[in-house]
């Protein structure tokens, strides 16, 4: 959404006697940001100022931000409490905040409340951030055994837990390594157990257990 479109909508909102929801949406990064909803104070709705009427910014409240620091948001806003602003400038300031979220690739929705008190205005910006994406899971494509001559691959596979489609963790790899070692120990055969991963595609791994059996056992 261009700033001109936002300004036009805010001009219309300022001339209505009740709150007006803006239907336009803005897609940014991974998130969909809903254009601000303007609420005129019921006590002053009938005399809501025009979009370019100078007003004193009495308060500016920002809520809901956690992934983006308040200091980063404040640095992007071209006005502060006590400054003279218009509704057009307030709308442009919110666009600047949206730009911060876009630059940081954080999806969010934005809501706005304006309360007019004489020649003063109280502004509240409500931010709904999308949950931060966690680390991608590593999934097993296949499991193979190499170097095992005294113990069959079927027997080793039966003793281990990782299968195609399993999620790989440090704990699951360690558990399977100990399980293979346990099979060899039960048979009285000494062996060194290693694991060689191969990554055919992002977040996918082919596991090859490399076994060095000691001669003479």
Pair (163, 56) in one structural domain:
no
Last residue of a domain, one of 129, 154, 187: 129
Is residue 44 included in any domain, yes or no? yes
Phi-psi region of 105 (alpha: psi -120 to 50; beta: other; left: phi over 0): left
Structure tokens at 134: 């966690």
Q: What is the pLDDT along the chain (217 residues), one digit of tens a residue?
A: 433 333 333 333 333 322 322 222 233 333 433 333 333 333 344 467 888 999 999 999 999 999 999 999 999 999 999 999 999 999 999 999 999 999 998 888 888 888 899 999 999 999 998 877 667 789 999 999 999 999 999 999 999 999 999 999 889 999 999 999 999 999 999 999 988 899 999 889 999 999 999 876 5
Is residue 108 included in any domain, yes or no? yes
Last residue of a domain, one of 85, 101, 129: 129
Is residue 205 included in any domain, yes or no? yes
Pair (8, 73) in one structural domain:
yes
Boundaries of domain holding 172: 139-213
Is residue 134 included in any domain, yes or no? no
**Is there a contact between 122 and 115 (Cβ–Cβ < 8 Å)?**
yes
What is the tally of structural domains in the chain? Answer: 2
Nearest to 112 by CA among 205, 25, 39, 33: 39
Nearest to 20 by CA among 93, 73, 77, 87: 87
Pair (145, 118) in one structural domain:
no
Is residue 208 included in any domain, yes or no? yes
Is residue 114 included in any domain, yes or no? yes
Is residue 64 included in any domain, yes or no? yes
Scored b (16 or more CB within 10 A) or e, 165-185 reads: ebebeeeebeebeebbbebbe
Is residue 63 included in any domain, yes or no? yes
CATH for 124: 3.10.20.310
Pair (18, 117) in one structural domain:
yes
Pair (125, 148) in one structural domain:
no
Scored b (16 or more CB within 10 A) or e, 66-76 reads: eebeeeebeeb
Could you identify the residue written with the tokens 């601000």? 36
Pair (15, 88) in one structural domain:
yes
Pair (67, 95) in one structural domain:
yes
């Amino acid at each position: 959404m261009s700033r001109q479109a936002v300004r036009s909508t805010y001009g219309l909102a300022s001339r209505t006697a009740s709150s007006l929801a803006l239907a336009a949406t803005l897609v940014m990064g991974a998130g969909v940001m809903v254009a601000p909803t303007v609420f005129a104070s019921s006590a002053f709705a009938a005399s809501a100022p025009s979009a370019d009427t100078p007003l004193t910014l009495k308060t500016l409240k920002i809520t809901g931000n956690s992934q983006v620091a308040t200091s980063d948001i404040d640095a992007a806003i071209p006005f502060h409490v006590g400054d003279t602003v218009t509704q057009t400038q307030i709308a442009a300031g919110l666009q600047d905040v949206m730009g911060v979220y876009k630059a940081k690739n954080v999806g969010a929705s934005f809501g706005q409340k304006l309360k007019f008190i004489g020649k003063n205005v109280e502004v509240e910006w409500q931010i709904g951030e999308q949950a931060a994406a966690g680390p991608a899971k590593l999934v097993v494509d296949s499991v193979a055994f190499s170097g095992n001559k005294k113990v069959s691959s079927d027997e080793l596979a039966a003793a281990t837990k990782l299968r195609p489609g399993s999620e790989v963790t440090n704990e699951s790899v360690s558990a399977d390594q100990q399980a293979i070692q346990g099979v060899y120990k039960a048979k009285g055969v000494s062996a060194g157990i290693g694991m060689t991963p191969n990554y055919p595609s992002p977040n996918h791994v082919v596991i090859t257990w490399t076994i060095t059996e000691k001669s003479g056992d």
